[in-house]
Structure 1
Amino acid sequence: MALFNQSRSNIIRLIFVGVFLIIIVQLFNLQILSGKYKQLAMDNAVFPKVKYPDRGIIYDRKGRPILNNTIMFDLVVTPNEARKTDTFGLCEILSIDTAEYRKRMLEARFKNGPYRPSIFQGLLTPELHARLDENIWKFPGFALIERPVRVYPYNAGAHIMGYIGEADSSIIKRSGGYYRMGDYVGRSGIEAYYEQVLMGQRGVEYLIKDNKNRLVGSYENGIFDTAAIAGRNLRTYIDIDLQVLAEKLIRNKVGAVVAIDPKTGGILAMASGPTYDPNSLTGSNKQKNYGQLALDVAGPLLNRAIAGLYEPGSTFKPLGGLVALNEGVITPSYGYNCGGRYYGCGHGKPACTHSNPGHAANLRLAIANSCNSYFVQVYRNTVDNPKYGNVKKGYEKWKEYMNHFGLGERTGVDLVSEQAGLIPDTSRYNRVYRGSWNSCTNLTLGIGQDMMQTTPLQMANAMCIIANKGYYFTPHFVQKIDDENAEDTMMRQFRKKHEVLTNISDEAYEAIMSGMQQVVDGSASRAKVAGIEICGKTGTAEKYRVIQGRRIKLDDNSVFVCFAPRHDPKIALAVVVENSGFGNTWAAPIAGLMLERYLKDSIPAERMKEVDRIANANLMPSYIKYLQYVEDSARAFNWAERYKDSSQIKKFYRTNPSRPPFPTSREKRRTAMIVPDPRLFNKPFNA
């Protein structure tokens, strides 16, 4: 019996020892090996405050900041820590209802998980930030995070600078996880092209929280903190005074202005009309403002300088003449007996603006008088050159010249979304004309029309080639990246000199320049600047547009290209004003003012009247008003169909005073929405 009791006692002792050992092992596991509970404790007591870096600043050619930073705040939430927050109090401050609160919480969990901070409401107004700052302790799981926000001191350069937006899932995936939800990235313009330079590197600051969720100090004296590293700054060729002037002159117009320094390829100014205030896409109303811009059929978000496609019209003639000179099919003394129309193909087209004898007696006069017949014949001489055997081979050679001059190909400018334009190849003409075509089929290519399409940037770059007598640098904005090192390869492509057809003689370029100078001295007198020799060329390109299935003839585009001074070119320009008439009417005077501002560093007081005259002229095409009406009306009708409630349309009509009176019956309402009320326009199209 004693032996049994002793055995039972030993078993009990072994059980106690075993339990004790298990406890010791578990304690060792929890406190030493496992970081789970330590991490939970850290999450409860320590708040990792993300420190977003300042993006790099962008400066103009004189060192003035044209894109800078300011500070705003985001309200972020960690969903798993926000269970005991004062939901109603927060909703009251944010002016949202509980349904919206729940929706945002679900989005935060879905986007970034329950244990990581996500933006609950971004870019708070100063008033809202102040209210939240003094009450944030009431809302466990919520915190205020500083956010550097872009500001445009000159309210200019929207299409150049671009804008930043929150990184979406596709951007995060492409970055290999470098970006996180809540990070902002460049979405257009220089902001997007130089994102890797401008973005900087985020940091983190660990702060201790008390039992009321208040931040009370630094954790471990900040030894685990990492500093945010600011992005690098960009030094550009942009002249902000010239940029502001360009945007003022293109106001209330559709078109573009591009100015380039021929010696470097540096873009001095680039304006696209219509434009918008770049500061409207930086603050708390960014999404609302972006939505309004995106719905505007005039396309204020479109950078027409690099994505607008235009027939160059007569501004192309200097290039056509240069190619013919180099091919030996004409000489500077070559003349054409034009009586006001071209009859070489038997149909009397195209017509010319001059019919007086001798206006196309040589190349210089033909350029100065912009003789269509002359340059149509020059084009035909080039593509029908016997040494190529047939017109198709001759045309391919002509197209090769055009590509060398930068037409039909992207220039490679440091912006995203550049268009290549169009110089059609023989396969396109074979397809359109079933293989049966000749130089009469597309003779208007000789005067910059037919299927030819170019961007204003390409036109300005072509002027750089003529100004430099055969070379150019890829057009670009950025001259230098601060702290640039050997690893920066972004700028190398812009420092390479491109020689264009070295067999073209200086004499050929001089012959073209003489005609272009006479253009400004004569027909394009509104581009003149006292004391400066300007080489330029006007263009008046026909414009058609298909609107609701109808091909509508619109007013011609006003186009002008130039460079100056002739013997020491410092600036090349291209100006396009859509549907506004002759090149000398609007485009040439805009170019003249731009030249004067840049080359003389000021515009005299008496010339400021001309600036105001052009700036105050509203040349917006009436078809845009028509298309906006159709778009808005269709949207309103779709809303009504969706909600089955005419009050939706009534509200739409109340907030859009340009609409006709609200129709009473549904059928009349539908008809009124689809067919525009004539009271909206003096005429449907400016034809």
Structure 2
Amino acid sequence: MALFNQSRSNIIRLIFLGLFLIMLVQLLNLQIFSGKYQQLAMDNAVFPKVRYPDRGIIFDRKNRAILNNTIMYDLVVTPNESKQTDTLNLCEILGIDTAEYKKRMLEARFKNGPYRPSIFEDLLTPELHARLDENIWKFPGFALVERPVRVYPFNAAAHILGYIGEADSGIIKRSRGFYRMGDYVGRSGLESYYESVLMGQRGVQYMIKDNRNRLVGSYENGKFDTAAIAGRNLRTSIDMDLQQLAEKLINNKVGAVVALDPKTGGILAMASGPTYDPNSLTGPNKQTNYSQLILDVAGPLLNRAIQGNYEPGSTFKPLGALVALDEGVITPSYGYPCPGRYFGCGHGKPACTHKNPGHAANLRLAIANSCNSYFVQVYRMAVDNPEYKGVKKGYEKWRDYLNAFGLGQRTGVDLTSELPGLIPDTSRYNAVYRGSWNSCTNLTLGIGQDMMNATPLQMANAMCIIANKGSYYTPHFVRQIDGQTATDTILNKFKLKHEVLTKISDDAYEAVHAGMQQVIDGTSSRAKIPGINICGKTGTAEKYRIIQGKRIKLEDNSVFVCFAPREDPKIALAVVVENSGFGNTWAAPIAGLMMEKYLKDSLPAERLKEVDRIAHSSLMPSYIPYLQYIEDSARAANWLERYKDSSAIKKFQKTRTRPPFPRSREKAIKTSVGFVIPDPRLFIKNTTV
């Protein structure tokens, strides 16, 4: 019996010893090895406040800040810490209901997890920030975080500078987690192209919280803080005075203006019409403003300077001449006996504006008189060159020249979303004409038509090639990055000189230049500037549009290209104004004002009157209101179809979500659903079908 009692006593001791060892191990684990509870304590007492860096500043050629930073605030939430918050009070301050509050909290948990801060309301207005700052202690889990926000001091260059937006899941995934929810990234323009330079590096400041969730000081005197590193600044070739003038002149018009420095390829100005105020896509109303811009069929977000495809028309003729000169199939003295039409292919097309004898007696006169017959013949001679033993090989060689000029492919400008234009290859013609075609089939390529399309930037770059007598630099905005090191290679391609024409003599170039100067001096050109020799070329391209199955003849596009001064080119320009008539009517005077402003640094009073006249002339195509009507009606019909049940509509409205079209048109659009869409000719004046 005594042995049994002793054995039971030993077992009890062993049990107590085992429990003691388990508690000791657990204490060691909690206090030494596991950081879970320490982290929980830290989360309760310390708030990691993200310090977003200032993005780099962008300067123009005169070192004026054209894109800068200011400070606004985001309201962020850590969902797992917000259970005791005063929900009703917060909703009242923000102007939302509890359903919207719950929706945002679910989104925060889904996007960034329950233990990490997520943006609850971004870019607060000063009034809203003041109210929240005063009451933030009532809302555990919520905090105010500084956010550097972009500002545009000149209210200009929206398409060039671009805008920033919050990183979405796709961007975060592509960055392999480098970006986080709440980070802002460049979404277009220079902001996007130079994101790696402008972005900087985020930092963290650890702040102590009191029992009312108020930030009361720095944790450990900032021992664990990391500083935000500002992005680097960009120095550009943009002349903001010239840029503002370009945007003023293209106001109320559809088209583009591009000005380059031929010596460097630096872009002096680039304006696209219609445009928008870049400040509208920053601040608390940015999403509403973006929605309105995206729904505008006139395309204010479209940068037509690099995304507009236009037939260059007669502005292409000097380039066609250079190809033929380089190939050796013509000389500057080559003439063509044009009777007013081209009969080389047997059908008397195209026609010319001149039929007097000798108007195309040599290259200079042919350019000056813009003889269609001459340049169609020159094109045919180039592609039918016996050296290539067939039109298809000859055409491919001709197309190679144009690609070398930067046509039919992206120029490589430092902007995203550039389009390549179109110089069709032989496979396209083989498909269209079943392999049976010759130089007569596409002879209007020689006068910049047929399937040829180019962007205004490409046209301006072509003028640089002519001005430089066969060379150019890749067009670009940024000439220098502050703090640039040997490892920075992003600007290297813009310093490389491209030699594209090597067989042409200076005399031949002078013949081309003389013809282009005579275009300005020998006619009633509206691009003339007293005391400056300008080389230019007008162009006019017929335009049609298919609307509701009908082919509508529109006003011609007005096109003009030039460079000046002839002796020492400092500026090259391309101007396109859609559906506005002849090249000399609108595009040429716009170019003249731009050149005079840049070369003389100011405009006299009588020229300022011309600026006002052009700026206040509305040339918006008359079909745009009709297209807007169609688009809005389609959206309205889709919306009403989705929510045709009355209870669904009420539920939809209760969520405070707006239908996908501007508020001002909502009533009119709803009532128009079901109406027969009228004939488009009722909306288009002075047109033929």
TM-score range, shorter chain: over 0.9
Secondary structure at the counterpart of residue 245 of structure 1: helix
- Go from structure 1 to structure 2 and tell me whether the alpha carbon gap of 1:475 and 1:686 turns closer, same or farther (over 3 Å shift): farther
Distance 1:618 1:677 in 2: 21
**How many angstroms does 1:660 deviate by?**
9.4
Q: Using a 3 Å threshold, how does the CA distance of structure 1 residues 654 and 500 change in structure 2: closer, same or farther?
A: closer
SS at match of 1:181: coil
What amino acid does structure 1 have at the position aligned with 2:585? T
SS of the residue corresponding to residue 68 of structure 1 reads strand
Structure 1 residue 420 corresponds to structure 2 residue 424? no
1:655 counterpart (649, 664, 681): 664
CA deviation digits over 1:303-327, x for unaligned, max 9? 1111110000000000111112222
Matched position secondary structure for 1:85: coil
Shift of 1:6: 5.1
Structure 1 SS opposite 2:301: coil
Written as runs of structure 1 = structure 2, the 5 A alignment for 1:167-186 is 167-186=167-186
In 2: Cα distance, 1:417 partner to 1:558 partner = 24
CA contact (8 A) 1:58 1:235 kept: yes
Taking structure 1 as reference, are residues 629 and 45 closer, same or farther at Cα in structure 2, changes over 3 Å only? same
- Deviations along 1:565-606, one digit per CA (max 9) or x if unpaired, are 111111110000011010000000000000011111111111
Alignment correspondent of 1:591? 591
Q: Work out whether residues 653 and 662 of structure 1, in 8 Å CA contact, stay in contact via their aligned partners in 2.
A: no
Residue 536 (structure 2) aligns with: 536
Unmatched 5+ stretches in structure 1: 664-668
Secondary structure in structure 2 of the residue aligned to 1:525 = coil
Shift of 1:652: 8.2
Give the C-alpha shift of residue 658 in structure 1: 11
1:677, 1:622 → 2: CA distance?
A: 10
Could you tell me whether the CA contact under 8 Å between 1:621 and 1:685 is conserved in 2?
no
1:627 aligns with: 627
Aligned 8 A contact 2:547 2:680 in 1: no
What is the match of residue 281 of structure 2? Answer: 281
Q: Indicate how the Cα distance of structure 1 residues 658 and 158 shifts in structure 2: closer, same or farther if over 3 A, else same.
A: farther
Task: Give me the whole-angstrom Cα distance separating, in 2, the residues matched to 1:682 and 1:447.
Answer: 29
Query: Against the structure 1 CA distance between its residues 13 and 328, is the aligned structure 2 distance closer, same or farther, given a 3 Å change threshold?
Result: closer
CA contact (8 A) 2:557 2:576 kept: yes
Instruction: Spell out the pairing of 1:557-572 with structure 2 (5 A cutoff).
Output: 557-572=557-572
- 1:620: how far off? 0.5
The match for 1:75 is 75
Q: Mean alpha-carbon deviation: is it higher for 220-229 or for 23-32?
A: 23-32
- TM superposition shift of 1:370: 0.8
**Aligned CA distance change for structure 1 residues 657 and 106 (closer, same or farther; 3 Å):** closer
Q: Does 1:671 align with 2:675?
A: yes
Normalised by the size of structure 2, how large is the TM-score?
0.95
Task: Kindly indicate whether the alpha-carbon contact (under 8 Å) linking 1:527 and 1:591 is maintained by their aligned counterparts in 2.
Answer: yes
Alignment of 1:106 with 2:109, yes or no, is no
- Residue 665 of structure 2 aligns to a residue whose secondary structure is coil
Say yes or no: does 1:683 pair with 2:681. Answer: no
Superposed CA deviations along residues 453-474 of structure 1, whole A, max 9, x for unmatched, are 0011111111101111111111
Deviation at 1:479, TM superposition (A): 0.4
Cα offset, 1:2, TM superposition: 5.6
Who is 2:352 aligned against?
A: 352
Partner of 1:493: 493
* Residue of structure 1 in register with 2:404 after alignment: 404
Alignment partner of 2:73: what SS? strand
The alignment status of 1:86 with 2:51, answered yes or no, reads no
Q: Is the 8 A contact 1:76 1:117 kept in 2?
A: yes
Q: Look up the match of 2:616.
A: 616
Alpha carbons of structure 1 residues 196 and 653: separation in structure 2 relative to 1, 3 Å: closer
Secondary structure of 1:211's counterpart equals: coil
Task: Answer whether contact 1:74 1:123 (CA < 8 A) is retained.
Answer: yes
| Amino acid in the other structure paired with 2:151 | V
2:59 corresponds to which residue?
59
> Retained in 2: the 8 A contact 1:626–1:676?
no
* 1:645 shift after superposition: 7.4
Listed one character per residue, the Cα deviations across residues 462-494 of structure 1 (whole Å, up to 9, x for unaligned) are: 110111111111100000000000110101111
- How much does 1:366 deviate? 1.1
Alpha-carbon deviations, 1:146-189, whole Å to 9, x = none?
11111100011110011111111111111111100110101111
Give the partner amino acid of 1:28. Answer: L
- Cα distance in 2 for partners of 1:87, 1:8 equals 60
Q: CA offsets per residue over residues 408-463 of structure 1, 9 Å max, x none? A: 11111001111111111111111101111111111110100000000111111111
Task: State the SS of the aligned residue for 2:617.
Answer: coil
Amino acid across the alignment from 2:341: R
Determine helix, strand or coil for the equivalent of 2:69: strand
- Residue 434 of structure 2 is matched in structure 1 by 434
Are 2:27 and 1:27 equivalent residues in the alignment? yes
> In 1, Cα distance between the equivalents of 2:687 and 2:274?
19
CA distance in 2: counterparts of 1:587 and 1:436, whole angstroms: 38
Please identify, of 84-93 and 19-28, the stretch whose mean Cα deviation from structure 2 is larger: 19-28
For residues 537-561 of structure 1, the C-alpha deviation after alignment (integer angstroms, 9 at most, x for no partner) is 0000111222222222211110000
1:41 matched to 2:41? The reply is yes
Q: Could you tell me how far apart the structure 2 residues matched to 1:230 and 1:654 are?
A: 39
Other structure's SS at 2:129 match = helix
Change in 2 beyond 3 A, CA 1:524/1:183: farther
Q: Distance in 1 between matches of 2:403 and 2:268?
A: 24
SS of aligned partner of 1:354: coil
Describe the shift of the 1:9–1:216 C-alpha distance in structure 2 as closer, same or farther (beyond 3 A). same
Deviation for aligned residue 1:8:
4.5
Letter in 1 for 2:253: K
Determine whether 1:135 maps to 2:144: no
Q: Secondary structure at 2:376's aligned position in 1?
A: helix
Pick closer, same or farther for the CA change 1:168–1:652 going to 2, 3 Å: closer
Does residue 165 of structure 1 match 2:191? Answer: no
**Structure 1: distance between partners of 2:623 and 2:523:** 30
- In 2, the alpha carbon distance for the partners of 1:289 and 1:653 equals 10
Question: Does the 8 A contact of 2:272 with 2:305 survive in 1?
Answer: yes
Paired residues of 1:523 and 1:584 also in contact (CA < 8 A): no
**Contact persistence 1:91–1:101 (CA under 8 A):** yes
Give the residue type in structure 1 aligned to 2:533: E
- Could you say if the C-alpha distance between residues 684 and 79 of structure 1 is closer, same or farther in structure 2, counting changes exceeding 3 Å? farther
- C-alpha distance in 2, partners of 1:165/1:545? 35
C-alpha change, 1:32 and 1:3, in structure 2 (3 Å) is: same
Q: Kindly indicate whether the alpha-carbon contact (under 8 Å) linking 1:82 and 1:142 is maintained by their aligned counterparts in 2.
A: yes
Relative distance call for 1:422 and 1:461 in structure 2 (3 A) is same
Moved more, 177-186 or 23-32: 23-32
Q: Secondary structure at the match of 1:670?
A: coil
Alpha-carbon spacing, 1:71–1:686, altered in 2? closer, same or farther (3 Å)? farther
What root-mean-square deviation, in Å, do the aligned CA atoms of Structure 1 and Structure 2 show?
A: 2.2
CA distance in 1, matches of 2:364, 2:152: 46
Change (3 A) 1:654 1:59: closer
- Amino acid paired to 1:238: I
1:421–1:453 Cα contact (<8 Å) kept: yes
Show the counterpart of 2:338.
338
Q: Tell me the amino acid that sits aligned with residue 674 of structure 2.
A: R
Secondary structure at the residue paired with 1:75? strand
Moved over 6 A (4+): 645-654, 676-679
Query: 1:241 aligned to 2:241?
Result: yes
Between 479-488 and 623-632, the greater mean CA deviation after superposition: 623-632
- Quote the Cα distance in structure 2 between the aligned partners of 1:91 and 1:686: 58
Q: Which amino acid aligns with 1:671?
A: F
Question: Aligned residue for 1:231?
Answer: 231
Identity in percent: 80
Number of residues of Structure 1 aligned to a counterpart in Structure 2: 680
User: Equivalent residues in 2 for 1:104-503 (5 A)?
Assistant: 104-503=104-503
Over residues 210-267 of structure 1, what are the superposed CA-to-partner deviations in whole Å (9 max), with x where a residue is unaligned?
1111111111111000000000000000000000000110011111111110111100
Q: CA deviation at 1:48?
A: 0.4
Q: Check conservation: 1:524, 1:538, Cα contact below 8 A.
A: no
TM-score by length of structure 1 reads 0.95
Q: Distance in 2 between matches of 1:29 and 1:312?
A: 77
Matched residue SS, 1:243: helix
How far did residue 495 of structure 1 move? 0.6
Say if 1:658 and 1:624 are closer, same or farther in 2 by CA, change over 3 A: farther
Confirm or deny: 8 A CA contact 1:369 1:523 kept in the other structure. Answer: no
- Shift of the 569–524 alpha-carbon distance from structure 1 to 2, 3 Å rule, reads farther
1:666 aligned partner? none
Task: State the 1:637 CA deviation.
Answer: 2.3
Structure 2 unaligned residues grouped into runs of 5+: none
